[in-house]
Amino acid sequence: MSEDATPRMGLPMLVAGQAQKEMTHNEALLLIDALVSGAVVQVGLDSPPEAADDGACWIVGAMPTGIWQGQANAVAISTAGGWRFVPPREGMRLWAGVGAGFVLFRNGEWRVGEAHGKVFVEGTQVVGKRLPPVVEPLGGVVVDGQARAAIVAVLEALRVHGLIASDEL
């Protein structure tokens, strides 16, 4: 670990005998303010916006230009003192708005709108690892057409929502 920055987020540390400690402290506060319960305006932007409110954040795209050059995938934070950049860390998660949901940095890339893990409701797991496909009924000597249509509709809805695999796999 470097003695001048925290190991995970690279926040600046105060050091003994340091002049103007408030500058280092304020820099750390700016970064914490942007990242704790962080939210971004846009994901994958390569050029800085023309106007940005203080504290607004963007996830820099893969081919950044201008003042963002060399900051691919970083979180760009607009501040009164200029742009601050935080490199992404494995597992970093930020809110990207209602249309995108959360973005998660995983395996070297930002993944937009994905949920990872299991879902529990009141202590009971309701969604987990996808199970093998469910075979549709083929009928027999006597087929109840309405019941079969209802079962097929339920299976299709489960497939569309990703809760079961398609039988085409």
Give the 3-state secondary structure of residue 140: coil
**Distant-in-sequence, close-in-space partners of 119: CB < 8 Å, separation ≥ 6:** 125, 126, 127, 128
* pTM flag (> 0.95): no
Whether the CA torsion 63, 66, 71, 74 is positive or negative: it is negative
Q: What is the pLDDT, as a whole number, of residue 14?
A: 78
Is the per-residue pLDDT at 132 higher than 90?
Answer: no
Specify the long-range contacts of residues 49-54, CB closer than 8 Å, at least 24 apart.
52/78, 53/78, 54/78, 54/79, 54/80
Mean pLDDT of the chain: 84
Task: Say how far apart CA 111 and CA 107 lie, in whole Å.
Answer: 9
